[in-house]
Structure 1
Amino acid sequence: MSEVFLRDFSEVYGGSFQPNYYMDERLEIIEKLKKQYKNNLLKLKYIVKFLNQKSIAKNVETYIGMANIESNTGLYLESSEDKGQGECNIFNKGEVLFGKLRPYLNKVYYAEFSGGCSSEFIVLDSLNKEKISNKFLSIFLLLDCVVNQTKYLMTGNTLPRMQISDVENLLIPIPPKQIQQQIIDIMDNAYQAKKDKEQQAKEILDSIDEYLLGELGIVMPMQTNNTLDSRIFTQKISALSGSRFDPSYHQKYYQDLEKALHCSPYPLVNLASTIEDFKKGIEVGSNEYSQSKEIPFIRVSDISSNGIDFENVQKFISASLYENLKTFQPQENELLYSKDGTIGICLEADTSRDYIISGGILRLKIAQEVNRYFLQFLLASSMMNILANRQSIGAVIKHLNIDKFLNLKIPLPPLEIQNQIAKKLLDSQYQALALQTKAKEVLNAAKIDIENIILAPESRGGVIYEFVVNFDIMENILPISEMVKFQTDLHRLWGGAKYPVVRLGEKVLINNILEDTKKYESINYIDLSSINKENGNIENIKSINSDFPSRARQKVHKGDLLVSSLSGSMKAIAIVDSKKENLIASTGFFIIRHTNDLLKNFLMFILRTNLFQELLKRESSGAIMASINQSELLNLKIPLPPLEIQQQIADEITHRRDKAKNLQQEAKEILKSAKKEIEQMILGE
């Protein structure tokens, strides 16, 4: 994205003098809306009331803070967030809550109940519900075409937020009521599908704890109701001597839990005996936070048992500071464990990108005789979570002393049993993650469909988009020689035909199942360097017998299409043609296994063209290791000729590649022969 640009004074006169206000991305969306809706496009202030009823937060029955609304989905998340003591905004069921703080977080909620909310929300209510419904409004405000405007309207560095005047002037399209209802139905169906898949994932994840404790022979004691009688108990002075005096530490439930732990058939050991080494993260201080989003600074709020939520990281540091703090970067085969705030989150360290962890997170290097996945699931179990929290101190923010953590008792089966348990649990976790990924994709696809309906209403009537290349624009993207070659090839191969343009996500499925490579003695590994960037062939499959790379997590088969996600290796796109066993690809690839009316070899050649390489790079993000995420790839538009034409194009390109390869080989042979002849002349042989 260009940070230096020019605007005519006539464009700025009478408006804002903030540079971001005139960014191309924002202006292009506004122009689209004006072109499509003309007289059916109004500023938000003309179609809604900005409600301002106040109350005291502690007095409302149900309170919604910013953390209670999921980014990009508009879903309500229950939490025990402190209401605070200050004022809050009152809202009623059916009204719209729009988050003005950090608008790029995209927090919009269609109220399903009445209550109070953070003053960082603006409460909106349609002036004429026959003309525009609140539910449609909430859906529109969630779309990327809105976020790509609002993210340029923030003011303030520490807590950037939108000004009320900018919110009032947001342009809102008003499609016919039947189209509004169609859009509402699409989102309702997507929400239900997402909910169903997440419920399936939850059931699988919930079963992990039960299975693990069952295999360890531990039966969790029943917790008593939190009544006054249950909280009154006596304790011998001998039990308190040298121990803590806070009553909760000595509850009978903890004694019952320790007895259950001792019932395990496996020996109890100190956690410290399973850990070869540990290191704390670092607190860099708020003055070191960077606004340029270079290197993620990962805090406890950014992690879960599923991994690190890089997409919603709030704090970043500069690349220069990262260079000085590289020793705090998690390494391969480590576990991360949260010891402050939310205690007991345990996950495998992600080594696919650069980041630094905060002081509330521990890095654990596990002893070789212990299966680290077994220990990961055990430390994340409900039993160990309860025992760890029991040892914590702090009324507002809990802290777990490292010595107390290392002295926790855990059951430790033989390594063979650990491996069996870990394999079963990893399989369950991968199933759950796949379901969660599908749930997100369902909602993202629905939002994209809705955005297409709103920004391209003519597509509803069955009008087919034409694939048109503007060669004037291409001259600014490609070198002249490449542009002329592309134009010549395009016209010759496609004969100037017009084909529909489709979103890639409508025609392919990306495999999101990760493989447990612990079960393999050896693997045949394909990483980005395995692919010849010039011809798209897989030429260097690495045979590895131990210490598999942490990114070796995707099982692939002959015929799978591998697409690089990293900007620096975008041409690492190839089809697997090997029949070797235990083929494992890097997580730096998207794996496309199933397609609909789309030949994989045609898609491979399309994505390898200079035009589409530029489009892929444009969608990449990240300062140090730029990459394209799955939703951006699936949102890419591609031309879709009939299968017969696809095959003709693929055959023609394959023929050219083979011909070029033969000519290159002949050239090598000619040079080799000439060198040999010269050598004979010089040496007189």
Structure 2
Amino acid sequence: MKQQIKKSSIEWKEVVLSEFAKCLNGFAFKSEKFNDEKKGIPLIRIRNLFNGKSETYYSGEYVKEYLVNQGDFLIGMDGEFKIFEWKSEKALLNQRVSKLLFDKEKITPKYIFYLINQKLKEIEDKTPFVTVKHISSKQIESIKIPLPFRNGHPDLETQKQIVSILEKAEQLKEKRKQAIKLLDEYVKSVFNEMFGDPSINPKKWSIKTIQEVALDKKGSIRMGPFGSQLKKHELVTEGVKVLWIENIVGNKFNPGGTKYITEEKYEQLKGFTINKGNLLITMMGTIGRVEIVPDIGKAIISSHLLKIEVNNKICDPIYLKKIIMSPFVQNQFKDASHGAIMSGLNGGIIKSTKIPLPPLPLQQTFASIVEHVEKLKEKQNKSLQEIEQLFNALMQKAFNGELVK
């Protein structure tokens, strides 16, 4: 039954998606016909929705209804429930991916694209799971959305106006994201211009190990305490901070999820103290993520982090971070970790990793450029957050029938 939400010059009604759109579930194509040699046509699986392209091709026969064209809207049926616009070449709809088919005389597809994600998230949050969450086409088609009507018929013009407003806000978001991406690319370009490709070392810088650029003292490169030294029941809600691998996300410091130990426990673990300017490296999980410790007060590291106290007389921490992030060093980490007895990195691998070491003044010049770029990125990120808040507010107004009168 249709439920009236609001009366105005436009009549808003809550409608069921199945009245205007249907889900076409993907087909279970035979895996023996899959290939990565670009024979046939690309095949869309759930993983391809996030990066927008597929490296897997299907060389067998298929029914045309399972073709996906640029601009079609797809929903992954497992994991994260989210709608995606397919922007790549023509491809095939594989099982566990659904394509929305619209009655375009009644509905503007992009209108559904903007409004449905919030509803999908609500279903996802309520869905129980053991390993992976699943959604059905019936659940998708049962989603209720607000729809503008005029003279008893769906109002396509109002839908298009709402889409236009939301598209402009989204374009602003993308411009900010692109600006941030360009700043990152600029730093990479400056690094290569000043120092050259580390794997080739065209400028013939001296080669040092990470051990050689750390302070010449015991414990300058050190992993966090073993599990037996710091047990879960010893963690408290306030006191001295304990950092975990979750605090290093995408080579950035994430202050969230902090746990603590008492001052008494800290006295036992003083050797694992970290200070502003130290480098932290993740040793398990996504190995080799790296960040410089900001000013966070008294803190120690946990078992899957490693700290480096850098010798600032020969090596700038910002340069060391960037060289560790480079494929040259990351490949050394990967090669060494594959040969290790235990999975992941260890202190010996880090200490023996080789890096080119340019003159300190050149490193410092590069570091000052990076610091300036980071300030610009901070402004762009703040602007992006404000735009996202605006976008979310506009979305809420659209849901409430308040965006267009």
Superposition TM-score, scaled by structure 1 size? 0.43
Distance 1:200 1:377 in 2: 20
In the TM superposition, what is the alpha-carbon distance from 1:51 to its structure 2 partner? 1.1
Q: Which residue does the alignment assign to 2:239?
A: none
Cα contact 2:183–2:373 (8 A) shared by 1: yes
In the TM superposition, what is the alpha-carbon distance from 1:171 to its structure 2 partner? 0.7
Change (3 A) 1:340 1:56: farther
Asked if 1:406 corresponds to 2:378, the answer is no
Asked if 1:134 corresponds to 2:109, the answer is yes
Cα contact 2:43–2:57 (8 A) shared by 1: no
Cα contact 2:26–2:98 (8 A) shared by 1: no
Alignment of 1:56-67 (within 5 A): 56=30, 58=34, 61-66=42-47
Distance 1:302 1:180 in 2: 42
Please tell me the residue identity of whatever aligns with 2:116: L
Change (3 A) 1:96 1:321: farther
Cα contact 2:49–2:84 (8 A) shared by 1: no
Distance 2:399 2:348 in 1: 58
Change (3 A) 1:430 1:377: farther
Map Cα deviations across residues 14-65 of structure 1 (whole Å, 9 max, x no partner): xxxxxxxxxxxxxxxxx9x852388732223333222123124645625353
Please tell me the residue identity of whatever aligns with 1:178: E
Asked if 1:337 corresponds to 2:311, the answer is no
In the TM superposition, what is the alpha-carbon distance from 1:330 to its structure 2 partner? 8.8
Asked if 1:366 corresponds to 2:310, the answer is yes
Please tell me the residue identity of whatever aligns with 2:171: Q
Aligned residue among 171, 190, 200 for 2:179:
200
Asked if 1:380 corresponds to 2:325, the answer is yes
Change (3 A) 1:368 1:297: closer
Asked if 1:220 corresponds to 2:190, the answer is no
Cα contact 1:281–1:362 (8 A) shared by 2: no
Change (3 A) 1:100 1:356: farther
Map Cα deviations across residues 171-226 of structure 1 (whole Å, 9 max, x no partner): 122222122212222333234333333333222212213323443xx3338xxxxx
In the TM superposition, what is the alpha-carbon distance from 1:271 to its structure 2 partner? 0.5
Partner of 2:171, secondary structure, is: helix
Q: Which residue does the alignment assign to 1:125?
A: 101
Q: Which residue does the alignment assign to 1:445?
A: 390
Partner of 1:405, secondary structure, is: helix
Cα contact 1:280–1:360 (8 A) shared by 2: yes
Aligned residue among 70, 88, 91 for 1:115:
91
Alignment of 1:421-460 (within 5 A): 421-439=366-384, 441-457=386-402, 460=404
Distance 2:359 2:390 in 1: 46
Cα contact 1:340–1:360 (8 A) shared by 2: yes
Cα contact 2:49–2:86 (8 A) shared by 1: no
Distance 1:281 1:194 in 2: 42
In the TM superposition, what is the alpha-carbon distance from 1:332 to its structure 2 partner? 4.4
In the TM superposition, what is the alpha-carbon distance from 1:446 to its structure 2 partner? 2.4
Map Cα deviations across residues 49-103 of structure 1 (whole Å, 9 max, x no partner): 221231246456253534753xxxxxx55698999xxxxx956123322345455
Cα contact 1:50–1:124 (8 A) shared by 2: yes
Asked if 1:185 corresponds to 2:164, the answer is yes
Map Cα deviations across residues 369-393 of structure 1 (whole Å, 9 max, x no partner): 4432232122223443455445453
Alignment of 1:527-538 (within 5 A): none
In the TM superposition, what is the alpha-carbon distance from 1:449 to its structure 2 partner? 1.1
> What RMSD in Å do the two structures reach over aligned CA positions?
4.9
Alignment of 1:94-105 (within 5 A): 94-101=71-78, 103=80
In the TM superposition, what is the alpha-carbon distance from 1:451 to its structure 2 partner? 2.3
Cα contact 1:336–1:364 (8 A) shared by 2: yes
Please tell me the residue identity of whatever aligns with 1:406: K
Q: Which residue does the alignment assign to 1:43?
A: 16
Q: Which residue does the alignment assign to 1:278?
A: 222
Structure 1 gaps, min length 5 = 1-30, 70-75, 84-88, 222-253, 289-295, 311-315, 462-685
In the TM superposition, what is the alpha-carbon distance from 1:452 to its structure 2 partner? 0.7
Cα contact 1:338–1:344 (8 A) shared by 2: yes
Distance 2:225 2:138 in 1: 42
Change (3 A) 1:356 1:130: farther
Partner of 1:155, secondary structure, is: coil
Map Cα deviations across residues 81-127 of structure 1 (whole Å, 9 max, x no partner): 999xxxxx956123322345455xx632122244356755443222x
In the TM superposition, what is the alpha-carbon distance from 1:268 to its structure 2 partner? 3.0
Structure 2 gaps, min length 5 = 36-40, 59-64, 149-154, 215-219, 233-241
Map Cα deviations across residues 240-287 of structure 1 (whole Å, 9 max, x no partner): xxxxxxxxxxxxxx6xx2x536x12xx432101333122159899xxx
Distance 1:270 1:206 in 2: 27
More strand by share: 2
Q: Which residue does the alignment assign to 1:498?
A: none
Change (3 A) 1:306 1:297: closer
Distance 1:35 1:406 in 2: 65
Q: How many residues align?
A: 355
Where relative contact order (Cα < 8 A, 6+ residues apart) is larger, the structure is 2
Distance 1:281 1:80 in 2: 42
Aligned residue among 17, 26, 44 for 1:53:
26
Alignment of 1:171-570 (within 5 A): 171-175=144-148, 176-215=155-194, 218-220=195-197, 257=200, 260=202, 263-264=204-205, 267-275=206-214, 276-279=220-223, 303-308=249-254, 331-333=274-276, 334-339=278-283, 344-349=288-293, 362-367=306-311, 369=313, 370-389=315-334, 391-393=336-338, 399-400=344-345, 402-413=347-358, 417-439=362-384, 441-457=386-402, 460-461=404-405
Cα contact 2:26–2:99 (8 A) shared by 1: no
Change (3 A) 1:408 1:443: same
In the TM superposition, what is the alpha-carbon distance from 1:140 to its structure 2 partner? 0.6
Cα contact 1:186–1:446 (8 A) shared by 2: no
Alignment of 1:643-682 (within 5 A): none
Distance 1:201 1:321 in 2: 37
Please tell me the residue identity of whatever aligns with 2:166: M
Cα contact 1:303–1:309 (8 A) shared by 2: no
Cα contact 2:68–2:93 (8 A) shared by 1: no
Change (3 A) 1:297 1:375: closer
Please tell me the residue identity of whatever aligns with 2:105: E
Please tell me the residue identity of whatever aligns with 1:135: K
In the TM superposition, what is the alpha-carbon distance from 1:425 to its structure 2 partner? 1.0
Distance 2:131 2:142 in 1: 24
Distance 2:164 2:226 in 1: 47
Map Cα deviations across residues 429-449 of structure 1 (whole Å, 9 max, x no partner): 332343244345434422421
- Whichever of the two has the greater Rg, that structure is 1
Partner of 1:174, secondary structure, is: strand
Change (3 A) 1:64 1:402: farther
In the TM superposition, what is the alpha-carbon distance from 1:455 to its structure 2 partner? 0.5
